[in-house]
Structure 1
């Protein structure tokens, strides 16, 4: 009976919002963007044809790598010294993210590689293995790889773990199984992976979004990189790894934007020196498709103490004597360094017109907005002020959540500080502040932010219900309402959703889909976004 009551409550929410959902179809499109994911073996957006680029570095694979291994400059095990070197190629991504089938593994050098978990070799020859991948009965995919033998004089390196099939040359957005599906223009991933680079399913998901925010895929979070030569390189064994190490090369980000004909949003590392910034701008100017106007932002959430950028900007603000108050010194340094970055880009481009200068703020703290925009007359030198509006159940209201319908009730409860209406009021206050300074208000992230952080598990606390709400049909209605209000309040400005497909975790159900190829029928947040394309 309780289950039936819950179902009826959800249905009531869904039917009540149906008119809103349908009316959204009649409205004008709005500019929507998408945030990328971090490069990890758990990335259910699977961006690359070569899965090894998202694999765990050998030296971080404590469970699989044994012994005192020597590595070359790109992270390849150059001398096993009697040990073995292993990696999680993909680890706990939902079945369906990548296809079951026969994958081709290419490598240089001499030795032996073995495969485990949901992968097994069906044919092996020097430099080329055929590996069968089948999702397990648990509906997850795990692929492990171990180098058992390797000639130190010609060690195994340049491993490529390639998706099955290829594309028809005239359609890079659809994967095909064989040449039989193409009228004479088949390009196999085995032969063309370096040229094609991106998983067609990933491109197909991303192609409808006008802006692609590269913050996560660039790896700048908690990253101390300061020099141009320290940025990620194409030659590296993998672009994954722990925070501060992972991230794709700038070349990959520019290629992605060009392939999608989308506007990239670049985040400059918190400790970047002037030479890095100048080379970065020069590379973008030279290689980004003409006519595309990139967004440029210094670091990410410099106000957020959860990130090293906040600690760095505060320390630098105090060091430069910008203020005696640590927090204010950090805000001032953030603004000062942002303006310095914009000036360098302007020197490279000859004008600030070919790129969009972004200053980042705190959605829940409108009082910070005038502080940032007024310091050094920043409002005269920026084009947009970006915030991350999220609606969610505040920690003090989580005790009210005992079912999925309860989640939607609390999201409409004015006593919840982050209810829908309370977030709209925050937006109105932010818009009033940015209007004073004649700066556009845009969203660098946003959407639902449902998580019981104290539970530390998807199965404990309120998390089962919060995850269930993300899967329930009313979430589509809530997203449509949220985006309609964003449109109305900001005057139809850019909204960059968070984030590319990823499964729910104890710290949040961030993915717009739970995996790259999840059916739209099971992805209410994505269905809502589609109504605004």
Structure 2
């Protein structure tokens, strides 16, 4: 199972970083004497290579929006604003109280403001070492692959041509924009989670860009992970810039006189070149560490077939062909838009059930194609797409009542079963086929986003949402638990030593307990952890030396977490919300668990 993570924007409900300035918008310009929101005077300002202004004309300032799409779910508390250089930072348009600040007047061109950070509560001591918000990481841990298409702003990636010097780095003033998030963050996230990365190479990237990208991955990605490499995303799809670009390139190179054929012929040419560059960079390691992906339009099988046939022997450059796995319940929101608002959820689900035979036939068709060409079949995007397609195709045109009912169905408990139906179908047709060796990923689209008339794509609506309340997430996680029952939901043991006393959560005979020992683990004083059931995983996350409290998570069979803090002196339990729990764990006085395997004999009585 893989997943697509969302794009980086100031209005996203997916909070990826503890430094939320990384998700801020591009600079806008403003003047003191004008009411205009954006005076569009960027050409009058000099910016350094990281996108920070180094000087201003008189009366001009720059501004940006941060954290605008999180609404009532935002993390409240004390935010810390940090910057290097000399200049004045102002805060507006938010509920806030300044606790302390320093102002140095207008920007100093010899030492301009740069490295601006806006740190979420509690992370000011660790943000540079642990950039990702732990609540964002929490529900990503069960996936074995992460696709970074939106994270890297693949659809319409810019500029054109795309050179290595134009990319965002970890020092850029924002990770938002057409350049996409820094590659270093994608590698870091995959390394932390042990999840294979799926990279989408920008459509206008030159050969040096591709080689430098591959080299950075080769040198810094964990050696046990495989890089899935795809040229751009949905080059066939006319709503994206890369489609028009490839069509124009194909026509200019005289690959075909027909635009639709010139498009896939250029895609075949450039995607082959991109994967070949990766293979050269990785050399003898390429066979184990690089897995090229080729994809075309799933819904038109003949068009897909034409593109594959044009590829010819070049298909052996790739290890995978990819398709989509969306289900729209027989296009119910399009074909039955007027009746949909009056339908019951059970009636709507009947259309989802009736779609399964056609979906199975589609999976089998592409599985047979993969076998015929000796490649693996993977899915680059899949999941529920119950919405009016006219909203995407015709500039937002939709029926309010139909949209509301489609959103309601995406949230309804019936959706849990519908998601499991399609996952089980893919598992039966593709994953369990003897031909499937390294392929078979079902890439859910997507991790987190707010539902709109343009679709309810996010599995979660916002970072920090309780997984138990989300039908789509429950469907995915119940599938993973049933199909891969032996896959751990957390460490089998977690221990912390503090002088002569040690604390731990441990597995014995398939059942978890937590407790403390003062004799190196020979005997344990067990704690009665609240809110746990048979089969739950218990994880010791930290110990606060000053407060004598331990932090314990209870993970249930769908990967949902309950959080507990236990005072070892008063023997009192408290149950904080997820944001507060992780904010406490970020404090510098917290002792973390010992590294796996480095348990100084504390594991001698347990199945660790």
TM-score, normalised with respect to structure 1: 0.79
Deviations 1:441-484 (A, max 9, x none): 11111011122254638981411001101110000010011100
Write the distance in 2 (CA, Å) between the matches of 1:430 and 1:251: 34
Of 101-110 and 463-472, deviating more is 101-110
Q: How big is the shift at 1:267?
A: 0.7
Aligned to 2:278: 345
| Contact 2:276/2:317, CA 8 A, preserved across alignment | no
Q: Is structure 2 residue 116 aligned with structure 1 residue 159?
A: yes
Write the distance in 2 (CA, Å) between the matches of 1:52 and 1:464: 33
Q: How big is the shift at 1:274?
A: 1.1
Write the distance in 2 (CA, Å) between the matches of 1:60 and 1:34: 37
Call closer, same or farther: CA 1:410–1:472 in 2, change over 3 Å. closer
Q: Is structure 2 residue 440 aligned with structure 1 residue 464?
A: no
Call closer, same or farther: CA 1:423–1:60 in 2, change over 3 Å. farther
Q: Which of the residues 176, 182, 196 maps onto 1:249?
A: 182
Aligned to 1:399: 338
| Contact 1:513/1:523, CA 8 A, preserved across alignment | yes
Write the distance in 2 (CA, Å) between the matches of 1:114 and 1:51: 16
Q: Which of the residues 142, 148, 172 maps onto 1:214?
A: 148
Deviations 1:328-363 (A, max 9, x none): 121111112111112111111114412111101222
Call closer, same or farther: CA 1:415–1:263 in 2, change over 3 Å. closer
Q: Is structure 2 residue 406 aligned with structure 1 residue 437?
A: no
Deviations 1:98-129 (A, max 9, x none): 421111111123343332344413312227xx
Write the distance in 2 (CA, Å) between the matches of 1:521 and 1:224: 39
Of 383-392 and 313-322, deviating more is 313-322
DSSP-derived class of the 1:84 partner: strand
Write the distance in 2 (CA, Å) between the matches of 1:459 and 1:523: 25
Number of matched pairs: 453
Q: Which of the residues 457, 482, 486 maps onto 2:422?
A: 482
Q: Which of the residues 18, 33, 44 maps onto 1:49?
A: 18
Write the distance in 2 (CA, Å) between the matches of 1:229 and 1:399: 52
1:80-229 alignment, distance < 5 Å: 80=56, 81-96=58-73, 98-126=74-102, 149-165=106-122, 189-225=123-159, 226-229=162-165
The structure with the larger Rg is 2
Call closer, same or farther: CA 1:279–1:67 in 2, change over 3 Å. closer
Q: Is structure 2 residue 457 aligned with structure 1 residue 510?
A: yes
| Contact 1:457/1:463, CA 8 A, preserved across alignment | no
Write the distance in 1 (CA, Å) between the matches of 2:172 and 2:217: 21
Q: How big is the shift at 1:148?
A: 8.7
| Contact 1:85/1:148, CA 8 A, preserved across alignment | no
Aligned to 2:322: 386
Q: CA RMSD in A?
A: 2.5
Call closer, same or farther: CA 1:272–1:66 in 2, change over 3 Å. closer
Q: How big is the shift at 1:34?
A: 1.0
Q: How big is the shift at 1:430?
A: 1.9
Write the distance in 1 (CA, Å) between the matches of 2:55 and 2:27: 12
Q: Is structure 2 residue 447 aligned with structure 1 residue 500?
A: yes
| Contact 1:114/1:148, CA 8 A, preserved across alignment | no
Q: Which ranges of structure 1 fall in alignment gaps of 5 or more residues?
A: 1-31, 128-146, 166-188
Q: Which of the residues 443, 446, 449 maps onto 2:382?
A: 446
Q: How big is the shift at 1:414?
A: 8.8
Q: How big is the shift at 1:47?
A: 0.7
Q: Which of the residues 347, 352, 363 maps onto 1:427?
A: 363
Aligned to 1:525: 472
| Contact 1:64/1:87, CA 8 A, preserved across alignment | no
| Contact 2:28/2:39, CA 8 A, preserved across alignment | no
Call closer, same or farther: CA 1:448–1:506 in 2, change over 3 Å. same
Write the distance in 1 (CA, Å) between the matches of 2:347 and 2:245: 40
TM-score, normalised with respect to structure 2: 0.70
- Between 1 and 2, higher relative CO (CA 8 Å, sep ≥ 6) is seen in 1
| Contact 1:219/1:248, CA 8 A, preserved across alignment | yes
Q: How big is the shift at 1:377?
A: 1.8
DSSP-derived class of the 2:92 partner: strand
Write the distance in 2 (CA, Å) between the matches of 1:389 and 1:194: 38
| Contact 1:106/1:160, CA 8 A, preserved across alignment | yes
Write the distance in 1 (CA, Å) between the matches of 2:295 and 2:324: 9
Q: How big is the shift at 1:425?
A: 2.5
Write the distance in 1 (CA, Å) between the matches of 2:316 and 2:63: 53
Q: Is structure 2 residue 210 aligned with structure 1 residue 287?
A: no
Write the distance in 2 (CA, Å) between the matches of 1:306 and 1:228: 26
Q: Is structure 2 residue 268 aligned with structure 1 residue 335?
A: yes
| Contact 2:326/2:382, CA 8 A, preserved across alignment | yes
Of 346-355 and 203-212, deviating more is 346-355
Aligned to 1:355: 290
DSSP-derived class of the 2:78 partner: strand
Q: How big is the shift at 1:84?
A: 3.2
Q: How big is the shift at 1:59?
A: 2.4
Q: How big is the shift at 1:298?
A: 0.6
| Contact 1:400/1:410, CA 8 A, preserved across alignment | no
Of 79-88 and 355-364, deviating more is 79-88
Q: Which of the residues 165, 189, 206 maps onto 1:273?
A: 206
Write the distance in 1 (CA, Å) between the matches of 2:116 and 2:352: 55
